[in-house]
Amino acid sequence: MDNAIEIQQLNKSFGRQSVLRQLTMAVPSGAVYGFLGNNGAGKSTLMRILLGLIRPDSGQFSMLGQPLSRALKARVGSLIDSACLYEHLTAVEFLRLMVKLKDIPSLEISRVLELVDLQPDQHKLIRNYSLGMKQRLALANALLGEPELLLLDEPTNGLDPTGMDEIRQLIARLPRQSAVTVLVSSHLLDEVEKIASHVGILHNGQLVREGKINDLLSAGQGLLQLNLADAAKWLPLLRMSNQVRLVSASELEVSGIRKIDCPAIHYQLINAGAHLFQSHFDSLSLEQCFRQSVTGARK
Amino acid sequence: MNKFLILFCVEIAKLKRSQALVMTLLCPFAVILLQLLVVIEGNGDFIAKRGWNMYWMSVVSLWYSFMLPLYIALITGLLTSLEHKNHGWRLMATLPISRVQLYIAKTLLAWALMAIGSLWLYLLTGLSIGLLLLLGYQGGDILHWSFVSQLCPVLVAALPIVVIGMTVSWLIPSMVPALVLGVSMTMAAMSVSRSPDYWMFDPWTYPMVATMVQGVAVRELAIALGAVVGGILLLAGCWYCTRRPIHS
């Protein structure tokens, strides 16, 4: 199976508001797929559709090569937005209920509690947990039974920086440890950049960019900083074909270019007699790539 | 183990430290406390004149005609609030279980709690009579099995109220509408149950009619209506409640 999730022309509206529009995407098996989008872009709606909480208006999807069914749900772990926990129970009591319903051995409880580092607090009432502990427990529940696919909607919501880092590392480790595919939605671009192998950018219910994170970033446009003598003199030359800004008497900034275009600029300057001391190219961060994609989609 | 049985056991396990369990113990206790106060306040005249038979009758009629419908509204509200409060509907919907089975398991649990509450009431009645005897009150025969035997008919006759309570509190996150419905319909049922023509249109009258009315045929009709109307409502509830999208 090449793709763990396949979605074809999915549509969903709430009243007159169209949330997902002809959404087609694929999540490769074994990937950590970061699903990006502003609030209201349709990320959570898609997660809810995949889990069967709401029905799409039209379109099709399959996970692990199957349409949604009870048997499939047993192979999928999920954490949707805020943690769903019975707060009057202890962590171990809660997980005992979950292993019964998922029909998996209760030995799993200690494994997942260890994985999220909650073993010391397993007998405390969940209502006395911090927000971060609750989120870790919800993740432990999602990991019960070593699911083949994990759907995580904003998994670091409410966590402190240390907690966020722990969860990020845990998610990034998962595919190597247990061959799980992870679809993780977030509006924290920095978070996704750190853990994802693939990225999809959702804007107004449509996928505006998708692919391997490295390909996306290297294919994108960046910023070239040039240190050269008498910088102002070379401004008109470069302005003919680029967006250029004079930063100081000895520095120019060329924006909106790809790394592959840099040698041509260097050649153009040197050929015209410029004394080029230093050149530095900054490739796009995921945040810049996201902004570009969203702005491009708006236009 | 059968999937439904596992789900039912999980629903029972969720009751640990829950208010639903506390209320199952407290509501019958409140009825007994009220009756004890009535007897003690009247210096036992009520028992001396009419015997323990009347004491049993007061307890049972107060429970079945007034407290039980309110208790059902409360208990169904508390059972579903476990899910409403904790995003439990969403959690349960992501698990490999059927929503129809979940609806039936919760309704069955509410019904079982009603039975447990009623049995607890009988036990407390016996204990309270023991206490009154120790305090020197006398009233003839202590045990009146006819009142205990009312439990089974009431369990059947109250099925529609249980299903309606469960459905309303399943659909509406707040407990208030279920409680308002329970209180207002209980009040209305007290009048409607006296009408020979209209009582059958109000399911809240069925437990009262099944236990309090003199005629055997009418009592049997109340029980039969409870079973049939309860069964139809249960099917309708299964169909409607489990098809709604889960947003919470």
Residue A45 has pLDDT above 70, yes or no: yes
Q: What is the pLDDT of residues B53-84, one digit of tens each?
A: 888 888 988 998 889 999 999 999 999 999 99
Structure tokens at A63: 């996970």
CATH number, domain containing residue A257: 3.30.70
C-beta atoms of A53 and B16 within 8 A: no
Contact A212, A197 (CB under 8 A): yes
Residues of A in contact with B10 (CB under 8 A): 97, 100-101
Is the CB of residue B217 less than 8 Å away from at least one CB of chain A?
no
Residue A298 has pLDDT above 60, yes or no: no
**Above 90 in pLDDT, residue A164?**
no
Rg (CA), chain A: 24
Domain ranges of chain B: 19-241
Question: Does a structural domain hold residue A245?
Answer: yes
ipTM rounded to 2 decimals:
0.87
Same domain, A228 and A207: no
Same domain, A49 and A175: yes
**Buried residues in B195-204 as b, exposed as e (16+ CB within 10 A):** eeeebbebbb
Q: Tell which residue, A80, A117, A123, A74, has the closest CA to residue A99.
A: A74
Q: Do B87 and A82 touch (CB under 8 A)?
A: yes
- Residue A211 region, left (φ>0) first, then alpha (ψ -120 to 50), else beta? left
> Is A299 within a domain?
no
Percentage, residues of chain B above pLDDT 90: 57
The answer as to whether A297 is a domain residue is: no
> Rounded to a whole number, what is the distance in Å from the CA of A209 to chain B's nearest CA?
28
Cα–Cα distance, A42 to A277 (Å, whole number): 48
Distance from CA of B17 to the nearest CA of A (A): 6
Domain stop point among A185, A217, A249: A217
Number of CB atoms found within 10 A of residue A44's CB: 19
The answer on A152 and A19 residing in a single domain is yes
Crossing angle of helices B99-134/B3-13, nearest 10°? Answer: 50
Same domain? A192 vs A246: no
Query: Residue A139 to residues A117, A151, A232, B242, B248: CA-CA distances in angstroms?
Result: 11, 10, 56, 26, 19
> How many separate domains does chain A show?
2
Higher pLDDT, B13 or B85: B13
CA B71 to chain centre: 5
Q: What are the tens digits of pLDDT across the range A63-97?
A: 999 999 988 999 999 988 777 899 999 999 999 99
Q: Count contacts between A and B (CB, < 8 Å).
A: 71
Query: For a pLDDT cut of 70, what percent of chain B falls above it?
Result: 98
What pLDDT was estimated at residue A219?
65
To the nearest whole Å, the CA of A91 is away from the closest chain B CA by 13
What residue numbers bound the domain in which A264 lies? 221-283
Owner of token pair 């709606």: A45
A149 and A27 within one domain: yes
Q: Percentage of chain A surpassing pLDDT 70? A: 95
Give the CATH number for residue A13.
3.40.50.300
User: Do the chains contact at A100 and B98, CB–CB below 8 Å?
Assistant: no
Q: Are residues A233 and A213 in the same domain?
A: no
Residues A204 and A241 reside in one and the same domain: no
- Both A83 and A195 in one domain: the answer is yes
| Partner-chain contact B94 A78, CB within 8 Å | yes
- Contact list, A96 vs chain B (CB under 8 Å): 13
Min Cα distance A71 → chain B (Å) is: 6
Q: Could you report the per-residue pLDDT of B186-211, keeping only the tens digit for each?
A: 999 988 988 888 999 999 999 988 88
Pairing outcome for strands A222-228 and A181-186? unpaired
